[in-house]
Structure formats: structure tokens, C-alpha cells
Structure 1
Amino acid sequence: MRLLFIQPEFENIGIEYVSAALKREGHATDLVFIPKPFENTSFKVRDDDEGEENSKISKKIESFKPDVIGFSPFTSHFRWSVRKSEFIKQKFPEKFILFGGVHASFIPETTIEEESIDGVMVGEAEIAIVEFAKNFGDRAKLLKTPNLWIADKGEIRQNDLAPQIEMDDLPYPDKDLFYDIFPEYQKRSTFTFMASRGCPYQCTYCCNDIYFDLYKGQQTVRFQSPKYVVEQLKYFKNKFHFNRVDFMDDVLATKLERLEEMLPLYKKEIGLPWVCFMYPNRFTIQESVVKILKETGCEWMKVGVQSADEDYRRNILKRRETNDLVIKLADVCKKHKLSFSFDHILNMPGETTEGLIAAIRLYNRCKPVIVNFGSLIYLPKTQIVEHGLKYGEITEEDVRLINKGLDPMAGKSNI
């Protein structure tokens, strides 16, 4: 099978893994990458470049001759992706258009309603996409492909999920897919990588909240072995010559033992500075944790705080850390000269002026290198949507728009 991915704006690690899984089984993949399709952060598509984008897509379809066109959009990319799928279906009606990724997994029942979409791949796709490729020439078998939602005689067939893949069975992500098409990625000093999947927390604004339900009863956090992590990074370092690693994991580790096994090996074999995300809790404030991060090359810790109102954070966001823990983490980082930044979400439902003042005071006390402020984006079916309705920040019509991949809060603020 030949699958052509279409991706806007930035590198997509999920696509890289799916591509690698297909290539490992002898299938062919390619990519159309559109670096700047949006006017701003409100998901508004730039009309001035649409003709050029469509021409680029058409030429690649004509030259690569794919059997399947694949999209893996986040909510912010969904409407753009549907728009491109409509263009493709009109010009190349014989092509099978497959959607996967975060938004499609959130809300497959709405995604499959789009007339230009032939199938939706829900959840992790490395196992299911190989089955899909194997079954593609046989309609009867295709209809039974795991993870797949597909129309069948006027009804939508919803197949069960394939088992979660063993983390060390993952192929090396297909970085060439993006790097060959967009050489600017090869010029970057930082290499993005994920050594795990999932998150132990259920923050109400986050996509991981949905994956808890999707894979209920299964592991919520899974790690690649330290040896396999370092093996991959060593291969990519020799190939791409980057000088920093950005671990994109939701949580790099939950136990000191993993850090003690992985990080000294990383320092020995890779020896490059690195950055990571961490959650402010009783694990991360330990001297032993911050010390090993610093000693093995961590130069930046990105910490999600999101709100300084402890009651709000606990009751609305389902985050149980206290401001005292945030302060202790900041102090231990400063003691070991480890730079850190905070993330804070604005325009959350029920947010008060007092909460914002508390944030100013907390951040002034902690003095991170930078505080990254971002406005809340409502993701379909996340619990924060219910809070938005309760506080009157959004309406039922807004929820319908959110499910369609639109941003009803664009240009609005409750600050």
C-alpha cells in the first residue's frame, strides 16, 4: 500500500511512527508538508495560499500515486485538514481518505460524518495501520480492521482497538519523512523525541483525559527502556548532528529509579544538553531528582502550573499540587542552577481577578526564566468543556463548533 500524509504547520511525531511502522512492513509513504497555513491562532485558514497548497498536493498525488491519503490533525488543524480532504476527494475521487490522530480519536462519530472522509483510525495506530494496509485490497477484511471506523451499507462500523504496542517494539520514528521534505528541520539545533507515552494525571483541559477513557483498564503511562531510548538517540545524533534533545514526553519519569538508569547512560552515549517537561509534585521537588537532571545535562525544565489559585486548580483542573510545592520546586532548581519556565493558561472558565493576582505573586516569588502564557483551547469531550458551559463562557452551539474543529473563543477574553 502507498500512503501519502498531509501535515500543516509543524513536525508530527505520531505520523513519523505510523510511517515507520508501514515502511517496516514494506509499504511506501510520502508527505506533503505545508509550513504556514494559518493567519493566526484562531485556526483561520490563509486563503491567499490555498491555490498554491492545492497545486502542491495535486502534484504529489500525481507523482507518488498513493492508494490512501492520511491526515492526523490536532483540533487546531482539523478544519484545514477537512478542507484539503474535500479538495482531494473532488479532484481524485478514487483516493481513500483516512483521518487519525488526536482530534479524530476524541470524536470519531463527528469526524466520520464529513463527506470527504472514508475512514477514521482511532487511538494508537502502529499496529492497526499495518493491518489496514494488509487488508486494503479486500473490502470484507478492511471492514474488520482494528481501530477503524468506516461506513458500511449506510451504517458506521466501529471496530475494537488493537492492543497497545509494547514500547520497545516501536520502530525508530521516520524523521526522514519531514527532514527530506523540509530541510529547515535538519538545520535546527534541537531534536524532538518521546521516550514514553501517556500521563498519570487527568487534567480537565488535556487530551490525555480522553485517552484514559479510550484505553480504560490498560496502562496509562508506558516507557521505552533506557537502553532503547539511548540506542535511538545515538543513531539520530550520528545522522542529523543536532546539539540538544527536547524530550516531549508529558512526564519524563515518575520514579527515581528510571532516571538513575536512563540519564547516566544518556550522558555517556549522547552527552548533549537536553530539556524536558515536569509536573510539580513530591517526586520532582526531591534534591536527588533535580540533582541527577542537572548532572546529566538537563539545561531547562518546563513546568506546567496553569493557575495559582489552589482551590481552582484542584476543583476545576483536577491538579492537586499546592503552591508550596511549586515554590519548593523552584527553590531546588535554583539551588542546583537548573533553569526552569512555567506555563500558565489564560481565559479559563470561572477564572477570577484574584486568581490572576495570585499568579503574579507566585511567579514573582519563584522567578522562573520565563512564564509562557497561552489562552485555553477547548478540546472536544474534555471535562473543561462542561465547566465552560457551567460558567457561561461557552454555549451548546459553541460545543458543536468545538467538535467540528472550530475555536468559538477566538478574539474573546474573560481577563
Structure 2
Amino acid sequence: MSTITADEAVVTPVQIGFWSRARKVGVGLAAAGLLATVLFGALATSQTVRFTLSDDAQGASLRINGTVGAIFFGLIATAAGFAMLAEKWFTWLLGLGIVGFLLSFLCWQISDAPDGQNFMPLVNIVRGTFLLAVPLIFGALAGVLCERSGVVNVAIEGQLLMGAFAGALVGTMAASAWVGLIAAAIGGALVSLLLAVFTIRYLVDQVVMGIVLNLLVLGVTGFLYERLMQTDQAKYNEPPKFGNWEIPLLKEIPVIGPALFQTNLFLYLALILVAVIHVGLFRTRWGLRTRAVGEHPTAADTLGVRVLAVRYRNVLLAGAVAGIGGASYTLLLYSFTKNMINGKGFIALAALIFGRWSPTGALLAALFFGFADQLGVYLGAISSIIPGQFLAMLPYLATILAVAGLVGRVRAPAADGKPYIKG
């Protein structure tokens, strides 16, 4: 029998996986940076690009030549990509590369805008990002609460829509935004109750049940909208609105202050819930039991955890959270209209996946989606040649990349979507 010498046992870097995830992403980022440097640098004009620190063209601003900026930021993205080949500081370098690529793109777009529009109001961009992300944050948190417990929540769309409807209807009839907010939470919880009963008690397929509930809520709210709200708008569909709440001193912080500390109740509540749910999941006994039920329900049951009770409780709580998110439409900006959520529940579900089933990850993913929407609005305002539909695709493409594992391993809780039958 032949033996293997010490020299023959040496494994080359390629054999042990030279093309690791970090290096693959680094090469891709470097290629994107080079593309930005060459293409955006060639297309950009020499117009001065301004990133204003106020919400208009006046006041302090950061200025750079359009062509120089496109090339400079493209080179930063390229350098970040090559630096990732060393397999160190993956997250920071990836973030730097993405920001560099984005700024290179913006230097091209803003420099090519019509005269008088060669600026980006950073306060408006940040404020719009947070505002558009609010319902997504609530929806994604609802998904975290459910799926960490082992229940797939495809019904986020219906929970948001019922919250918007209940908030508008009850808030108008009670002439109170606070009463409308409570009604929205109850409405979302009722949708979750149906999800919990049919999937936990009767073991109906969770994905199918979520889709059925979305269609049910769409039909019920549409019917009541036509029969009540359309016939008497003043009586049923003119809810009072929450105003902006200001935090002294903090609102004076440049860019972030006016957007984050001079805003509405829903954004404050969303950020508080992110912190509370994160601490609850990873620092409390409730969180430990929730995660145990979502990962190994049989083992949790043998230790005395009431698996079904935990799932019922968390699914109901998730519905209340999503209902409040739906109320952000009707108690903040608009009157209720049919199907006004328009797919935001599914975007929240994508944010949940992109955020790796974590409250803080879901928050960052929701902000990314909100920024993509706000960027589309801004580019439309400066008559960009980039179609808005293309920009709307970007968050979904990023989600696909995340699920594919190119920006990190993404794994749902082990028992997610699996019914539990107590032995």
C-alpha cells in the first residue's frame, strides 16, 4: 500500500478554496468600480455637483467637479474591491465600495441634470428614505416575530392593509388618531389570529394560508370601502393625522437632525420597536424561548416550553405590529383607498430575508429599500435618463444576491414553516 509523503500532503490555496466568498465579492466589486470609473467618468460633465446640507439649493454644500467625482469615487470602489482579496474587514470594505459606486453614479447623474438642478438636497433624501421605510420596518419586524417562532408570515401585506383600513375607519368615527392607532393594531392582530389558528391548530400550509389571507383582506376592505367610505367620505374616511414631533437640540444636527429628530410618531415608534425586539430576542428568556421554538421545537418542548403557546402569542403580536405600520399610511399622510399598500408587505418580506431574520438587519434592509424608492423619485425630478422601473428593481436584485449567499450566509430558522404536532 502506497504512502503519502509530507510534501505530497501540502494543499495549495486553490485546493482549499482560494476563491472564497470574500474574494469573489471583492473581484465583483472591483469590476463594478472599474466600470463606474470608465463609464460614469466618461458620461459625466464638468458641471459642479453639489450635495447640499439643507433641503434646497441654498446653504452649505459639498462641491465637486462631476467628471472628477465620478472617476474618484469609482476608483474608491475599485480599491475597496481589491482590498477585499486580503479577506479582512469584509463588511466595512463592502460598504465603502457600494457607497463609492453610488457616489460615482450620482456625480454622473447630477452633473448631467438641467441647469439649476445640479444638486442633491441631502436632508430631503434622508427624510424621504426614513418616511418610505416606515411601513417596511413594521412589516419586517412582524416577519421577524413570526418566523423566529417557526411560522412563515406571507400575510404581512394583508396585516398592513387591515391596519390602514381600521385606522382610517375607526379614527374617523372616533375623531381621534390615537383611537385609530389602537384599532389598526387590533385589525392587524385579527388577521394574525386567523393565520395562527389555521396554521398552528389545523396545520394548513403557512404560505398558502398567508396568500389566502391577503386576498381575503383585499376583498373585505375593498367591499367596505365602496359601501361606506366612498358613499360618505367625511363620516368614514377623513381620519385625523399625527403631526411631527421635534426633539430639541438633536434636530439641529446637520442632515440627520431634521430627518430623524423632527419627524412623526411612527418613525420614533419603529426605531424603538427595533431596539426592544432586538434586546428581547437576544437578551431575555422570552427571546431564548422564541428562538428555541423556531429552531428546535421538539427540544424546547422537552424542556417545558409551551411551543404552540409561544407561536400563538408571537404571531398575534406580529399582527399588531404590522397593523400599526399600516396605520402610518392613513393616520399620517392619506385617506384610505383600495389596495393602497400595493405590495409593500412583500417588500417587507424581502427586507426580512435581506436582513437575515434580525431586527437590526431588517431595519437596515428597509432603509435600503426606502433609499432606492427615494432615489427613484429624485432622479425623476431631475429628468434622469435612467428609467424609474430599473431603480425599483435594485433592492430585489440585492435580495437575490443576499439569498444566494454572495454577501453572507443567509439561513432561515430551522423550523420556519414546519408545523409542530405535540407528541
Structure-1-length-normalised TM-score: 0.22
Structure with the higher fraction of residues in helix conformation: 2
> TM-score, with normalisation over the residues of structure 2?
0.22
When Rg is computed on C-alpha atoms for both structures, the one with the higher figure is 2
Higher RCO (Cα < 8 Å, 6 or more apart)? 2
Q: Kindly indicate which of the two structures has a greater share of residues assigned to strand.
A: 1
